[in-house]
Structure formats: C-alpha cells, structure tokens
Structure 1
Amino acid sequence: MDIYSIMLTVFLVLNIILAVFVIFLERRDAGATWAWLMVLFFLPLLGFFMYLFFGQNLTRRKMFQWEDRKKIGIDELLTNQIQRIKTKDIRFSNDVILNNKDLIYMHLVNNGSLLTQDNSVNIFTDGRQKFDSLIRDIKGAKDHVHLQYYIFKRDNLGRGLINLLTEKAKEGVKVRILYDELGSRSLHKKVFKDLIGAGGEIEAFFPSRLHFINLRINYRNHRKIAIIDGKIGYVGGFNVGDEYLGLNPKFGYWRDTHLRIEGSAVHSLQTRFILDWNQASYRHDIYYAPEYFPIASSTDSVGIQVVTSGPDSEWEQIKNGYIKMTSSARKSIYIQTPYFIPDASLLDALRIAALSGVEVNIMIPNKPDHMFVYWATYSYIGEMLKAGANIYIYENGFIHAKTLIVDEEVSSVGTANIDVRSFRLNFEVNAFIYDKEVSSSLSKGFKDDMALSKKLTAAEYSKRPLVIKLKESISRLLSPIL
C-alpha cells in the first residue's frame, strides 16, 4: 500500500505541476485553460495522460521553412503587393475585390496570402463529379501530380487512384502523395508498393514515433490539396474514400464542396504543398523548379487568396477571415458546416449580424459523426436561434461542406470547420474568393439544399428533452478542447 500511496502522490504532484504549466506557461485561451483544469481536477491520473496526447501547444514552433520562396519571388511579390495596397497603386479586376481590400490586406500581411486576380473556378458538390474531374486531369498530367489528403483510404476509390498514379509514374510523371497518418490510420504504405517501385514518393504527416502511440494526436494536417502540372489545383472538403462517393450506408449521400482552380492561385496551393511535404519528408525534399510554377493560362478574372492556418501560427488566420467577412455583411450570410462550435469572438460576430437584420442562414447535418461535437453544435445553434438566425438540418445524407458566403459577393471554401479544432489545432487551408458569380453559385447551392433540409424553429428547439439538454451542456463545457 505504501508503494501505491507514493505513486498516487507522485501523480498528484505531477498533476499540480501540469496545471500550473497550463495556466502560467502555455498562455492558452481562457476557455481551453478551464476545460483542461476541469479534466485534470476530475480525472487526475487519466487527465495527465490525456494532456500528453491532446494538450501540447505548438504555437511557438515554426515548422515550415522553405528558403526557395525567394527564388520564385514570393517574398518580393508580397512586399510589392502590400506597398501597392497602402499607396492605392493597385488595379482591382472587380468591385468585390475593391470593397474587401481590408480583408485582403489582413490576409496578405498576416498570412502572406497573395491576391491573385486571373483565376477560373469550377465548383463541385458531388463526390463522383469531383473525382471524375480529378482523374481526367491526372490522366492528362505531363510533369507532376501532387496530392495531399487528411484521409486516404485503401478502398475501391483509393486503390483505383493509386493504380492510375502508378501508370502515370511509369510514363515519367513525378507523383507525390502526402497523407495524414492519424486521418489515414487504416492505410499502410505497402499499398503504395507498385507506385513507389515506379518512382512515386509517399510521405506521412506527423507519423507515430512508437507503434500505435502518437503524442501529436491533436495536431493533424486536415488539408486536401491536389496540383497537376502546376496549372490545375483542387481544394475543399472531399477526402479519398468510397464514403465520399456516397457509398457508406451510415452516412448515405455525401454533400461537400470542392473547387477546381486554374490561374495564379494554383501557385499558392503548390507552395503550401511543398512546405508541408518538406516538413514531412526526410529524404525527398522538393527544391524550386520552374515547372512547379508555370505561367498561368487562365483568361478569367476571379480574385482568390489561399489562406492557411495551423497550431504553429501566431494568429488564427482563417477564423479571423470568417469574423471579418461576417462583420462586413450587409444583407446575407450563408454557412454550411458539419460542426458549429464557434468561439466567443465568432459567435458574437454572427449574433450581432443576425440582431442587426442581416439574414443569417446556417446548415448542419442531421446525424453525428462525432457525438460530443454533435451535441455541442446543437448548443450553439440554440444561441443563434435566439438571435433570429435561420437554421437548416440537412436530411439528404451527410453535409461535410465548409462554406461561408457573405452578401453573395465574397466567399470562403476549404477544409476548416467552424470549431476550435480547425481554428487552433489542425493545419487547414481555405480559398477566399472575391467574385459575384462564384459566390452566387455557392449560395444557390445552399438554397437548393434547403429543399432537402428541415428548418429548425426556436419553438421546436425549446421542446427538446431534458436528456438532450444535459448532453448539450456537458458537450459545450468541453467544446474548447473537442
């Protein structure tokens, strides 16, 4: 018993030290701090190990360095564009870009997100259409194919894609695949054996240092990017797997949003891929080559900024973009998200918009894929109902889209959900789009989905059973660390 007492005392002392560390050294958001203190207080032993796996802070670590940015002139372009905006010596291709120059400046200065104005955009909301398009583009690849996905499954879609990439590698096309090890935990590198044999290269982001144990379980690369020959880029919510084609009976039809981009914005996606690849790679770093950044051939004029965020960033770039967009809304806001767990700043911005007469429309799924997140979402939905927002529950399967449209003029599509995990913990990427036609098309997609959704009213929400209210309260309390 003495040994057990000593062990217990040691763990309790460690627990106190860890609590002090969380409060005074980590400098976390107050909500997350209190949530972790509750976990440590009520689960003193288990909480200690939970923190080791889930609670590390990467904010002060600069993980992504690529000195060859200077060779392609990105740093020079950034400095030049910032100066031209300051001196008003920049020509905008449309009024939407002009009207959102403050948002553009914020992303430019704090995230290094170049504004490009020569892009064309295709929108996909159906997985089959998205992957049919991607496969066609891969078949036409001449120089390289770069793929980055959070989830890459070894099912029919995954194996078919690997087989196609193996054939392209045999033709001399350089193929690289970067996947997140936790998101793709069912994947084994042996599935890439033939592709590697043909010259393809495969890397895992934040791999486990010990078998089945990954101390960076909380910080995952949630980005989904594809680049073909440096000319065509894809970004959005679809991962690689049969369920994203609507073939999983649990979820049914999979409603998502993904973009196919041609133009200079593809260079930004390419830069992001190279930075992530070089962080994950120990043997096959990518160095600057002109073929990765060919002259854009698009003749369209859609304005785009590719914005990234992650736990190593000082600012929550994508969330700040959401707040800025929301605060500038005059007529309407459309949001589609599988999880709605905004922090206080974004929640206030959305409530103020609704209370000011802006038509705020939010669409969420009718089924959970993560139970605690689902009930936390319903808790925050209740807040928005009180403020007068329109809430729609999508009933035609599962909605996974990460879309925000303001006044049908400016929009954001990408990988970031509206939750703390996407804002602070995951590595994310979104395209901020300054174009009436594209934004109107995205809002039309929302309106089409309204016919497949049930509108939740404040009266219905108030009648939910006591057990649901309890689930919501517990989940909301834990929402800062979900």
Structure 2
Amino acid sequence: MKKILSLLSNRLFTVAVLIILQLVFMMTVLYRLGEIDRNVNFVLLVLSYIMVVYVINKQGNPSFKLAWCILILILPIFGGIFYLLFGDKKVPKALQKNMLASIQESLPLINQENEILELVEGLNYGAYKQFKYVWKNTYFPVYRNTSVEYFKVGEEKFETMIVELKKAKHFIFIEYFIIEEGVFWNTILDILVQKVKEGVLVRVMYDDAGCVSTLPAKYKKTLEEKGIECAVFNPLKARLVVQMNNRDHRKICVIDNQVGFVGGINLADEYINKVVRFGYWKDTAVMLKGEAVWSLTVMFLQFWGYVKKQKKINYLDFKLETNIQNSEGYVQPFSDSPTDHEEAGLNVHMNLINNAKKYIYIETPYLVIGYEMQKALTLAAKSGVDVRIMTPHVPDKWYVHLVSQANYLPLIREGVKIYEYSPGFVHSKTMVSDDIMGICGTINMDYRSYYLHYECGVLMYNTKALLDMKKDYLQTLEDCMEITIEDCKNEILIKRIIRSVLNFFAPLM
C-alpha cells in the first residue's frame, strides 16, 4: 500500500498520467470524427504519408528516421500527429535565441584562435583536428595553464569537492542533473549555507526531471530561504506537446573561476556508495584548476541567464584570474546542445575512435548506438586498434541494458572487446586513446546524450590524467567478465527477440 501511495504522489507519475489522458482524449476525438466523416481519416492518412516523406528526406540520424517511419506506418491514422507532437526537437525558441545570444556575447571573452592551436598542430595533427572541430562548432577554446586531476570513484570526488568548496571566497556555481538529500548533498549544502553567511555568491541549478523523485517539488524555495540562489531547468508540466526529452544532463561545479568539476557523478548517495542500488557504483570525474575553468563558468552563466530570464550577463564580473602555470598538456571543456544541429558529443566520440592508432578504452553505462558508431568501432578494430568497451553487469534500467546487449554481437564479431563490470553498475563516461587523447564528461553512448540532452565534457591531450584514466581502466578490467560470441548466442530466444524489438525502437526511447 505504501508503494502504491508513493507512486500516486510521485510528480513524474502524475505528469505522465495527465499527458496520457490528453493523448487518449485527442485520439478518441479524432477517431469519432473519422466515424462521422470519412474525410477526416483520409486527411490523417495523407498527413501520415507526408510525414514519412518528410522524415526520410530530413537531415538526421538514419536509425531515428527509420524507427519513426515504421511507427507512423504501423499507426497510419495517428502516426503523423504523433510525429508532429513528439518527433522533432522540441527545444523552446526562447532557449535557442538565448543560447545563441549568450555565445555571441561571451565569444570575445572565451574564444581566441591563438598560438595554442598552432602548438597542438605542430605536436599532433590528429589532436589539432579534434580541438579545431570542437572550437569551430561549440565555440569553446583550448587551454594550457590548467592542471587536471582524475577521480576514479565518486568517493574521491566527494572528499576533494568538500575541501575545495570550503576555500570559496567569491562565488560557487553548481549545476547537476540529479541532486538528492543524503550524506553527499547535505554535507555540501551545509558548506554552501556557511559560505552564504560569509558573503559568497552561491547559485544552484538542477534539472526538474532528474530531481523529480529525489527532491521535494518546492525545493527551490527551501534553498532560497537559506540565501542560495536557485534555478530549476525545464520544469515538468502536464502538456501534450512536451519538451521533457531535452534535459540538462550536465554536472558542473565551479568555484571562484579557479576550480571546476566535470564528470558523470551526480550529487546523490549512490554515487559515493553510501546507498547501494545496483551493486557497487563505478563513476568518474575530473577536477580542473586554472585557465580552462573559465569555459565552465561561461557554460553555467549561459544556462542561468536563460532560466532566470536575465537579458544581460556581465561575464567579466566572474572572470577571476588564476595563478596556475602549467605547461603539461592541453585541455578543452565544451558543451553540447540540442539547440543547434551539431551533434558535438557524438562527433567527438567518433573522432577519438577514428584517430586511435593503438588502442581506445571506453566506459559507458549504455551502449545504445546507431549504424555510424557501430561502423566506426568495428572499422577501428579491423584496422588493428585495440577497442575495448566496458558496460555494467548490473543495470539501472533493464530495458536499456537489453538494448546495449543487442549491440554486443555485431561488435564482437568484428574484433571489438566487450566487458561487463561484475560488481555492479558503471556510470562513467570516459574514453582514453593511445596515452595522449581522451575525454571525461557526461556524454553517454546513446541517442539521448547524442541528440536530446544538454551535455558537457573535457577533451584532453597529453595530460597526466589520461594515464591515470588508462591505469584505472586496466585495473577495473580485473573485476569484469569479457562477453564472448558464445555468450551472445546462448541467450534464450525470447530474450533475443525482445532485445531486437527494443533495439529497433531505441532511437525513440
């Protein structure tokens, strides 16, 4: 009974039910109109066929287009309407306009095509192309004078984050997909409250869908009463035309423009294994100190300005100078957004795979990929590159895990090595290649991260953190089991059928 009452009081459940009721009502009305006047059915059929032609000819991911075409043809009366409601990117125009304006406003402050890219070009042309792509398409530059520390588990980030937050003197910016009351967040919250009393500007932003089951509905007011400025991204609303797919999946913490944290670790207790949900939770993050933190500061302010409807942001007020003089490696924090038509996260992953010469080691909680990514991975493996992918053995979402497993066999057949992390759940989103290039961030290898979510990551070249990532990967492999062709073929038939169906419609999930 308690579980039923808890479900009924869940805001996400309520919103979902209301949207479904609206959808059923709309379908009922259209069906009744079709019974009264056959011309209505004819118009809907024509609309569906037009939508199929439109989808086929539209630019975009072929898997996404194929799945929608099949769905429309299966439900020809309502398929065209479904696509109009849910099929395209539903990014608010105000957010598109704000992101473009904020980029233009901050462009002179964060983007300078200077000698740094030229230095990289002289050292490694592959790294130069990768950095140049990100700079030209996301507008975030490459930095030196930045130290990078890699955290192989959430517990390490938690301890360091506490130490760094206590040093704050000017401002703290926190932007996370999930915040949940518990040891992790409550410890940080106590520090934030103390910092407010010391005169530090503290701003917290969280995604409403990500926190719908972890925070009270009016938690924003709770924080504001403590003196913390708060913003809730894309609040859940019971509207038939939804934008819930476009979530703020980023995890950013910035302190005085001196220190920045990025990675897969949210502010909840399972990420530091204070709560056990899916076995041991393996996650990673990086801490930046130095000039590259400025890009994280700008990322936060761009979103903050949109959510708080601020027409003018004085970016330079937050550009506090750093004293890090570090010539080790090159660092490029960047953000990916569905407000444009550039799949930066996907393309960065593809470039890393395509440019690998000896090896590429990948950690991802989900392996929900399309043909182009599958081709990149298998081509690298067939070209002699040691391609290894680590996924969870204990899933957080059973249906997504089935889709991931559906992609195992075609990859393994071509030489890609797949490992499942036996102790529990891998939530890390990292790639490291040839000891010199890699990424740590929030970007999963799935359609949601590549096409729908707001994401961020740190691209690195020739930093010590990359060697730490490689060492951690190889050590973690000792706790993994390699998946073989026989493992894939020995699965029961019904499971393989379910996986195939889910995999086909994966782009719509």
Would you say same fold, with TM above 0.5? yes
Alpha-carbon offset, residue 41 of structure 1: 3.6
> In the alignment, which of 398, 401, 426 is matched to residue 371 of structure 1?
398
Counterparts in 2 of 1:42-441, with a 5 A limit? 42-43=74-75, 51=83, 54-58=86-90, 62-65=96-99, 74-75=107-108, 78-81=111-114, 90-92=118-120, 95=123, 99-186=126-213, 187-188=215-216, 190-193=218-221, 195-210=223-238, 215-282=242-309, 287-300=313-326, 301-441=328-468
* Corresponding residue of 2:47: 17
Residues 368-427 of structure 1 show CA distances to partners (whole Å, capped at 9, x for unaligned) of: 222332111112121110011211110112100001111121001100001111111111
> In the alignment, which of 448, 473, 486 is matched to residue 459 of structure 1?
486
How many residue pairs match? The answer is 473
Instruction: Indicate conservation of the 8 Å contact 1:22/1:28, yes or no.
Output: no
Distance 2:322 2:297 in 1: 13
| 1:432 partner SS | strand
Distance 1:17 1:136 in 2: 59
Structure-2 change in CA distance of 1:245 and 1:425 (3 Å): same
Distance 2:376 2:340 in 1: 22
> In the alignment, which of 52, 62, 87 is matched to residue 30 of structure 1?
62
Do residues 445 (structure 1) and 477 (structure 2) align?
Answer: no
Residues 172-218 of structure 1 show CA distances to partners (whole Å, capped at 9, x for unaligned) of: 111111111111112235435453124321111111344x8781111
Structure-2 change in CA distance of 1:166 and 1:19 (3 Å): farther
Unaligned runs of 5+ in 2: 1-27
Alpha-carbon offset, residue 162 of structure 1: 2.5
Q: Return the letter of the residue paired with 2:325.
A: T
Structure-2 change in CA distance of 1:76 and 1:128 (3 Å): closer
Structure-2 change in CA distance of 1:150 and 1:71 (3 Å): closer
Instruction: Indicate conservation of the 8 Å contact 1:262/1:297, yes or no.
Output: no
Structure-2 change in CA distance of 1:68 and 1:54 (3 Å): closer
Further displaced range: 348-357 or 56-65: 56-65
Residues 431-463 of structure 1 show CA distances to partners (whole Å, capped at 9, x for unaligned) of: 101025221210111101111111111222222
Residues 138-178 of structure 1 show CA distances to partners (whole Å, capped at 9, x for unaligned) of: 11111111000011113343333323312211221111111
Distance 1:369 1:46 in 2: 32
Instruction: Indicate conservation of the 8 Å contact 2:48/2:81, yes or no.
Output: no
> Identity across aligned pairs (percent)?
27
Further displaced range: 433-442 or 329-338: 433-442
In the superposition, the TM-score normalised over structure 1's length comes to 0.89
User: C-alpha root-mean-square deviation of aligned residues, in Å?
Assistant: 2.9
Q: Return the letter of the residue paired with 2:246.
A: Y
Alpha-carbon offset, residue 363 of structure 1: 0.5
Distance 1:427 1:386 in 2: 33
Distance 1:66 1:6 in 2: 43
Structure-2 change in CA distance of 1:171 and 1:455 (3 Å): same
Structure-2 change in CA distance of 1:67 and 1:216 (3 Å): closer
Distance 2:455 2:293 in 1: 16
Alpha-carbon offset, residue 66 of structure 1: 6.8
Do residues 473 (structure 1) and 464 (structure 2) align?
Answer: no
Alpha-carbon offset, residue 75 of structure 1: 2.9
Further displaced range: 409-418 or 299-308: 299-308
Alpha-carbon offset, residue 108 of structure 1: 1.3
Alpha-carbon offset, residue 78 of structure 1: 3.0
| 1:109 partner SS | helix
Instruction: Indicate conservation of the 8 Å contact 1:310/1:423, yes or no.
Output: no
Instruction: Indicate conservation of the 8 Å contact 1:337/1:363, yes or no.
Output: yes
